[in-house]
Structure 1
Amino acid sequence: MDRKSLLREIEPVAGELLNRHLGVAKEWFPHEMVPYSRGKDFVAGEQWKDSDADFGAVNNEMSDAVRASLYVNLLTEDNLPYYFRDIDQLFGNDGAYGEWGRNWTAEEGRHSIVIRDYLTVTRAIDPIALERARMQQVRTGQVPAPLDLYEALAYLSMQELATRIAHRNTGKAMADEVGQAIMSRVGNDENLHYLFLPRFGNGGDRR
């Protein structure tokens, strides 16, 4: 079965799963989770130090492993323009597929907003290094290129599962309760995205 025929065949399933997702997904706002009261102005050219971090009432230390995980997780979210492009090209922008792709993109966009704002406000990571890495990441535009629809569904399912695990485990390793809550919230979103994809690929099988 060619790609267009397959998409027509399973579009009703995509519509059902989209409605299910919209029914269980919870609206939330990044600005209500970020501890802006900890923030202070940055001085141009000022060299960042890990001792600058402010994690509230807890010890102002963060392990290198947690910093590295937050860094990589955020850069993964920053690749959103390319993910949207590829999903749009593979599935099209009409009907249930288009609505799912745009809604998924909007929800994923919140993830980079809340993680970056948290890292900036708490000074958990060198903001100059982080911005330079974002520029390099997006300029390069390197993302997996699935060969067909089947491979794309498999990749997307594994990617959402991997990000769910990464965000949740990173949050559990953080001492700051605000950081824990943010990563848990993002991980919950990724879990809903993951639940959509395998069922979609299996034609709606809910086993």
Structure 2
Amino acid sequence: MKKPIWLLPAALLLLSACEREKREFRPAQVSEETDEKIALSSLSAGPSPPSQQTTGKGKNFEENAYHISEGQKLYTWFNCNGCHSNGGGGSGPALMDDRWIYGGSIEHIVQTIREGRPNGMPSFRGKIPDDQVWQIAAYVRSMGRYTPKAASPARRDDMHPGPAEQRRPPAEMNPGGSIPSSAQMPQ
């Protein structure tokens, strides 16, 4: 049995095109954190706006589905939903809308988590590793739909009143040509 000679180069070409997602399974220590220089206000002395310097680390977290889903777990584990509910607000501000007091970029959210804010938001500097802070911030950004749709986490089934779609019993088929009872006029 002869095998086509072109099969081997085609297989090698396909395998070389595959790229695995790179993940760090051990986060950096708590003492190692990025140094983001961000402005909390657009006001500055002189004609130019305040200068900002970011490391670009936020883009890696915002566009990665693994980091966002880990942030979703951490959001619950660190009891962020105790104040912010499930993003809709409670004793803390809502995280799903477009109103951000201290800025809505991922760098601003990281700064808020690290440093805390007056009137309630505690500081988590030195308590949460840097990568986990970035993951939580990426998840918070996904609540407001600021992340790519392909990277956004799935809905949480524990927040839905009914069982997940895969766990529901099969629906009864409605034979064509008949009007379902819900569409009939009340008597």
TM-score (normalizing by structure 1): 0.22
Higher-Rg structure is 2
Higher relative contact order (CA 8 A, sep 6+): 1
TM-score (normalizing by structure 2): 0.23
